[in-house]
Structures are given as structure tokens and as C-alpha cells.
Amino acid sequence: MKKIYFIALSVLICTFVVCGMLAAADWYREDRTTNTISVGNLSAEIVDIYEQDTVVMPGDAVDKVVSVRNDGDSDEIVRVRITGVWTDSGELIEHRHLACEINDDDWLFDEGTGFYYYTSVLSPGEVSNPLLRSFSIDGPNVNNYFSMRPGTITIAMEAVQAAAGGVSLWEKTNEDLMIEYDERPENGEDNESGVEFRGDREGFDFGENSDLFSSFKNLLPGQTVIQSINVGNTQSEGTEIFLKAECGDKEKDELLWRLLSGYTDIEVKADGRTVYSGPLWRSEEDETEKADLRALSPETGSGADNTSKPPEELYGNGISLGTVAADAGTQITVELRLSPEAGNEFQDLSGDVDWIFYARGGEREPVPQTGDNDVSSFLVCMIVSGIACLALVLIHTFASGRNRKNGGGTNAGRNKSGYGNIPVVIAVALTAVIAAALTTAGTLAFMTDTETAGNEIKAGTLQIDLTEPEYTPGKVLEPNAAVHKDPTVTNEGTVPMLAFIRVCIPMKKVATVDNVTKMIIPAREQELFSFEADGNWILLENREVSGDNGAKYSCYVYGYLAKALDPGESSVPLFEEMRFVNLLEGELEYASELDIPISAFGLQEKHFYEGESMENRLLNSYANYVKEAWK
């Protein structure tokens, strides 16, 4: 029996020691930093210092100081066009009649486009040096024909983002415009960030700047930003480090999930090697509901197809940044692009993204952080084998004690090999070690606590208002009568927009009377109202549609041709009045109510066919974006 006892005890002790060594090597540590992704805006305003209704005498110089101010939160490049018009006739004021004092030192004129380009980049809040300081009507080239003629000098300004070669939208380069612009370096003072792994006890240290992704601010549709991060390892041995991302609850933050899964792409590189490329979150069509980064194979590089890999090979829904050598570091770059198709529904949306760095020992897989004790299988094995050893020793000690009590001879309290009190010593030692193991289990759970830091920046807005200032509802109409109706669009948001109006005219099969001959025209399907559109609006489409109640309408869609509406600016009315058809008496029931649905739509100006004529911009924007939204 004693031989079996010592064999069993030896096996349990070996198991205890081996499991203890494996448990010590089997650890997991994660820490996170919170980044708030937000949307910025691009806005500029003309600063015009001029006394209105000034009477200009030939040869006299009139002060008119024109500059441009950057009202947005991004660097901008601006251009300005100056045109003069005789208001009474609409004729352009010829250059030989209009002399302008232009600042040629800071502005470059391009004959092909007719624009003056500012040769420096405007920072947020900065005002350019004046383009125009004064103008005059050239005396030798004018006569009494110009006496008391009213004229207008129009200043048209456009702005584009300076970053990422924004002037290419104007088919220009910075060199063409003599602009010297150094974009923010990837690891410059403005966006330098880093994280250090200090072992499984101290975890990841994000330093004073806990927002590692500070570049992901003030994004505009179509914009791409890059964040560089130095990842260090202060341990005495190399450690493989992983990155994953999480956002809030999908049901509570559904809009954020839609933005990040359908309109946001990222590319992650570690020391120049692409380890991930694709959406920031999985789309709703993916099989799994969990948001994660989808990794590329380290072996095959950026061109690898990982669709056949099981999730566990992607390191628990995270990506490997590679093994960082002891007391060394690696650089990762994260490039984020916001699609130009991100629409109105995402306005005023700011969302938190938790970027989680983690490391592990052995073959440990990442586990959900629930706050419960995290006990590995090796640690469980260690505890069980230790308890078994303790139980075996106590049983043997108890049996030896009974032998002594029953007078088992001079060797009753000692075995033949002289092990006397050794079982008691082993029992005490094992008790202490098991207690230490249980304490270690609690410490491992403590190591999984998270540290969070974040900041908040809000998004820009695009909001449209449709009004009819002169319209009086409920008016009783007579055949061929006119009614005041003046649909007008106002930009109530913070970014410039392209404006559209849709007017649906009810149709009926009715007989009418000719306005000239007074003859009756047989009944036919026709529009019950007519209008004449203002020249500042262009017709984009006219088609017949059916309403919910089966009623027929002839719907007209117009785009505002004059210009993109700046924040706070209103369009001219689409029309001033509508005229009721010259209806034959009795064709409609008495007190019939006729509905004329009118709706408006605004589309962000930037990134939508810039560089083309306003007519083409409206036609293409309606065909590819607005029409679908208006179905």
C-alpha cells in the first residue's frame, strides 16, 4: 500500500508542478482607449467692405475691399471671380469700362476659368489678404450713355479642402497655383501617439494622450485621414500584440453601426505590411453579429483571401500586429476613409469607438471581459491536483495516527523509511501553495480590468426649409384664376448645398374653355394648374405619378441653377403664382379640394461633380442621388 501511496503522491505532485508552470505562462491582458469619430465642415465667407448705392463718377476710384474668411474647421484653398453687370439691361460691364485695383502679389488670375486663386492656404478662422482694394469707371471709355445706369459687381467665391490634393477638383495642382502646403506629417506633433506594453501586470500604457486616434476628427464625406501609432514593448521578451475594435450596443447605436459598416473603410499596416483592409465594422449581411476587424493572413499579406479561415485563426475577432521584440517597438498606420455617399441621416452623429490592444501568454484565446474571475484550464488543473495531494496526505497521516494510538509498536508513528512528520510538512506546504494559486486566480481577473479615456466632437449639419411666404391656404378658386404661391428654399444648416424642388400638379379628365375663342374643348386628361418657372431654376424631370389614393399627378423637378445655397441663404421663388385651368362649369364637384404637393431636397455641395457647370452638377446629382431618395 505504501508503494502505491508514494507513486500516486509523486504523480499528483508532478501534475501540480507542471500545471503551475503552464498556468504561470498562460495569461491575457487587454486595455482600451476610446476615440470619438466626428464629422467636420468646410465653409468660407466673402468679406466685402463697400458702401452700397455709391454714385460713381468716371475716373473716380471707389473703395471696395474684398477678402475671404475661412469659417470652417479645415484648411482651405479659395478662388474668387469678379463680374460686373449693368442691372437695367443685364449686359456684362466690359473690362475696358471697369478698372479694378487687384492684389497681384497674393492672388493669381487664370484666364481659362476667369478665377483669381489665393496663393496661400487659409487656416480655420484666417482671413485672406484682400483681392480687390478699389474699382473705377474708366473716364476715357465712357460717355453719356452710361449716365445714371445702375450696375452690380458680383463676387463669386469657391473653397476646397487643402488636404489630399483637394485642388484637383478644379483640375489644378498646388504647383499650378504657386501654393506651398505641407500636410501634417503622420507622426507630427499634432497627431503623434503611442502605446507601450509593460507586461501582464501593468498592461498597456497610453501615456498622457490617451486618444490614440486623434486624427479621426472633423471628417467630411469623401475625405481620407491617416493615424500613425508607435507600439512599444518594455518586457524582457518578445510579445505578440493584437488590435481589435468595439462600439456600443447595436440596438441603441444602430445609426452608428450603419455608418461604420456601410460608409467607413480602414486599412491597417504594421511596419508597412497590410494586416487588414475593409469596413471598420462587419456589414449586416455578414454571418456574425459581432463587430470586429477582419484580418489578413500574416503569411500571405495584403492579397490573401481569408474567407475560408475559421474565426479562431483571426485571433478572436482581432488582428495581429506582429511580435514586438523586447525593449523595442513597431509602427502601425490606420487609414480611414469616409464615403462621399454618407447622407443626411448621419448628420449630428458622433460615436465612440473603443480600440482595444491586447496580449496573451501561451496559446490563450481572448475571452469576454465580464468582470468574473478568469481561471485558465491550467490553473484549474493545478488546484485540483493540489487538493488531491492534500487529501491523500491527510488520509495517510490520519491512518498513521490511528496505528500509533492502537499500539502499533516502536515504528507506529514512523514508516520504515523514516518519513515520520513529512506528510504533515507536505500538507502544510501544499495548503500554502493552493492558497497562493487561488490568490493568483483573483489577480488574473484583476489584470483584465480596463482603462477608458475619450473626448467628443460634434458633427456639422445640412438642413433645408421650404416656405411659401405669400401663399394663403383655403382660397376658393374660380376657373382661370391665379393664386399667389411662391415656394422658396432656405439653407438652415452649416454647409453649402445644392437645392431641388418637386411640384406635383393634380390631373383630371375634364372639359375646358379656350381662353381666346371661348370654345369648349372636349374632356381629356390634363393638369389642373399651370405655372411659369423663374429663370434661376432648371427643369430636371417631368413625369406622371400616382398617389396613395389613386389620384394622378404630373410632377416637375427643378434644380436651383443660380448657385449653391450658403448657410442661412434663401433661393428666389420657383414661381410667383399658379393659374387654375379655365374649367367648364360642372366638371368638378362643388367644394372639391385639390392637393398640390410641393417638397424640397438639399444635397451637400462638396464632392458632388465639382469642376463641372452648375447645370451638369444638378442633372448628375439628381439622376444619381436625389431621384432615388425621392421615390
pLDDT in tens, 114-150: 999 999 999 999 999 999 999 887 655 555 566 667 7
DSSP letters of 345-386?
GGTT--EEEEEEEEEESTTPPP----SS----HHHHHHHHHH
Q: Are 355 and 243 in contact (CB under 8 A)?
A: yes
Kindly indicate the confidence band of residue 473, based on its pLDDT and cuts at 50, 70 and 90: confident
**pLDDT tens digits, one per residue of 19-52:** 655 555 567 788 888 888 776 667 889 998 887 7
Within a domain: 36: no
Average pLDDT of 276-303?
Answer: 51
Q: Where are the alpha helices (DSSP H) in 203-309?
A: 254-262
Within a domain: 173: no
Q: Looking at the structure, do residues 145 and 213 belong to the same domain, yes or no?
A: no
Q: Looking at the structure, do residues 347 and 391 belong to the same domain, yes or no?
A: no
**pLDDT tens digits, one per residue of 316-366:** 457 888 889 998 988 888 888 887 676 546 755 777 888 888 887 655 444
Tell me the one-letter amino acid at 73: D
> Rounded to an integer, what distance in angstroms lies between the CA atom of residue 557 and that of residue 398?
97
DSSP letters of 399-429?
HHHHHHHTT--TTTTS-TT--TTHHHHHHHH
Kindly indicate the confidence band of residue 306, based on its pLDDT and cuts at 50, 70 and 90: very low
Average pLDDT of 256-264?
Answer: 80
Strands (E), 481-576: 482-484, 488-491, 497-513, 520-527, 529-531, 537-546, 552-560
> Rounded to an integer, what distance in angstroms lies between the CA atom of residue 504 and that of residue 553?
6
Average pLDDT of 491-513?
Answer: 90
Contacts of residue 173, defined as CB under 8 A and 6 or more positions apart, other chains included, come to 165, 167
What is the torsional sign of CA 549, 550, 556, 557? positive
Enter the DSSP assignment of 11: H
**pLDDT tens digits, one per residue of 594-615:** 888 999 998 888 767 888 999 9
Residue 64: give its domain's CATH number: 2.60.40
159 closest CA partner among 130, 108, 117, 131:
117
Domain boundary among 388, 421, 447: 447
> Rounded to an integer, what distance in angstroms lies between the CA atom of residue 390 and that of residue 13?
10
Number of domain units in the chain = 4
Q: Phi/psi class of residue 56: alpha, beta or left (left: φ > 0; alpha: ψ in -120 to 50)? A: beta
Domain boundary among 447, 476, 495: 447
| 447-451 LR contacts (CB < 8 Å, sep 24+) | 447/27, 447/28, 447/29, 447/200, 447/201, 447/203, 448/28, 448/29, 448/30, 448/367, 448/369, 448/374, 450/30, 450/31, 450/32, 450/369, 451/31, 451/32, 451/33, 451/203, 451/206, 451/210
> Rounded to an integer, what distance in angstroms lies between the CA atom of residue 57 and that of residue 130?
24
For residue 193, the SS3 value is: strand
Please give the grid coordinates belonging to residue 25.
Answer: 505562462
Average pLDDT of 211-223?
Answer: 72
Least confident of 345-354, 367-376, 573-582: 367-376
Least confident of 231-235, 386-390, 409-413, 470-474: 409-413
Q: Which residues pair with 604 in a beta bridge?
A: 497
Within a domain: 49: yes
Q: Looking at the structure, do residues 506 and 619 belong to the same domain, yes or no?
A: yes
Please give the grid coordinates belonging to residue 4.
Answer: 502505491
Q: Are 581 and 510 in contact (CB under 8 A)?
A: yes
Considering the chain, what percentage of its residues have pLDDT values greater than 90?
Answer: 24
* pLDDT exceeds 50 at position 429: yes
For the chain, how are helix, strand and coil distributed in percent, rounded to 5? 20, 35, 45
Q: What average pLDDT does the structure give for the chain?
A: 75
Q: Looking at the structure, do residues 242 and 270 belong to the same domain, yes or no?
A: yes
> Rounded to an integer, what distance in angstroms lies between the CA atom of residue 26 and that of residue 154?
73
618 closest CA partner among 601, 598, 631, 597:
601
Structural domain containing residue 133: 44-156
Within a domain: 110: yes
Kindly indicate the confidence band of residue 244, based on its pLDDT and cuts at 50, 70 and 90: confident
Q: Are 77 and 122 in contact (CB under 8 A)?
A: yes
> Rounded to an integer, what distance in angstroms lies between the CA atom of residue 151 and that of residue 141?
16
Q: Which residues pair with 36 in a beta bridge?
A: 352
Element containing residue 188 per DSSP (H, E): none
Within a domain: 371: no
Within a domain: 209: yes
Contacts of residue 128, defined as CB under 8 A and 6 or more positions apart, other chains included, come to 67, 68, 69, 78, 106, 118, 120, 122
Query: Taking the complete model, does pTM exceed 0.85, yes or no?
Result: no
> Rounded to an integer, what distance in angstroms lies between the CA atom of residue 264 and that of residue 283?
11
> Rounded to an integer, what distance in angstroms lies between the CA atom of residue 128 and that of residue 66?
9
Please give the grid coordinates belonging to residue 277.
Answer: 483592409
pLDDT on residue 115: 94
> Rounded to an integer, what distance in angstroms lies between the CA atom of residue 510 and that of residue 491?
39
Q: Are strands 224-233 and 328-338 parallel, antiparallel or unpaired?
A: antiparallel
What's the distance, CA 311 to chain centroid?
A: 27
> Rounded to an integer, what distance in angstroms lies between the CA atom of residue 282 and that of residue 285?
8
64 closest CA partner among 51, 79, 77, 80:
51
Contacts of residue 295, defined as CB under 8 A and 6 or more positions apart, other chains included, come to 275, 276, 306, 314, 315, 318, 319, 320
Contacts of residue 202, defined as CB under 8 A and 6 or more positions apart, other chains included, come to none
Q: Looking at the structure, do residues 207 and 132 belong to the same domain, yes or no?
A: no
* pLDDT exceeds 60 at position 421: no
* pLDDT exceeds 90 at position 396: no
For residue 620, the SS3 value is: helix
Most confident of 11-25, 67-81, 249-263: 67-81
Within a domain: 198: yes
Element containing residue 394 per DSSP (H, E): helix 377-405
Q: Looking at the structure, do residues 492 and 438 belong to the same domain, yes or no?
A: no
Q: Looking at the structure, do residues 280 and 405 belong to the same domain, yes or no?
A: no
pLDDT on residue 398: 63
Q: Looking at the structure, do residues 216 and 343 belong to the same domain, yes or no?
A: yes
pLDDT on residue 45: 92
- From the number of C-beta atoms within 10 Å of its C-beta (0-12, 13-18, 19+), residue 27 rates as buried
Residue scoring higher pLDDT (396 or 585): 585
> Rounded to an integer, what distance in angstroms lies between the CA atom of residue 596 and that of residue 601?
17
pLDDT on residue 555: 94
Considering the chain, what percentage of its residues have pLDDT values greater than 70?
Answer: 65
Q: Looking at the structure, do residues 280 and 351 belong to the same domain, yes or no?
A: yes
Domain boundary among 309, 329, 360: 360
Q: What count of residues does the chain have? A: 631
Least confident of 14-28, 188-202, 381-395, 550-564: 14-28
Q: Looking at the structure, do residues 10 and 79 belong to the same domain, yes or no?
A: no
531 closest CA partner among 548, 549, 508, 556:
556
12 closest CA partner among 321, 389, 455, 435:
389
Q: Looking at the structure, do residues 420 and 559 belong to the same domain, yes or no?
A: no
Contacts of residue 288, defined as CB under 8 A and 6 or more positions apart, other chains included, come to 282, 311
Any idea which residue has 404661391 for its cell? 485
Q: Looking at the structure, do residues 510 and 549 belong to the same domain, yes or no?
A: yes
Q: Are 135 and 153 in contact (CB under 8 A)?
A: yes
Question: At residue 491, what are phi and psi to the nearest 5 degrees?
Answer: -85, 105
Average pLDDT of 395-408?
Answer: 60
Within a domain: 166: no
pLDDT on residue 120: 95
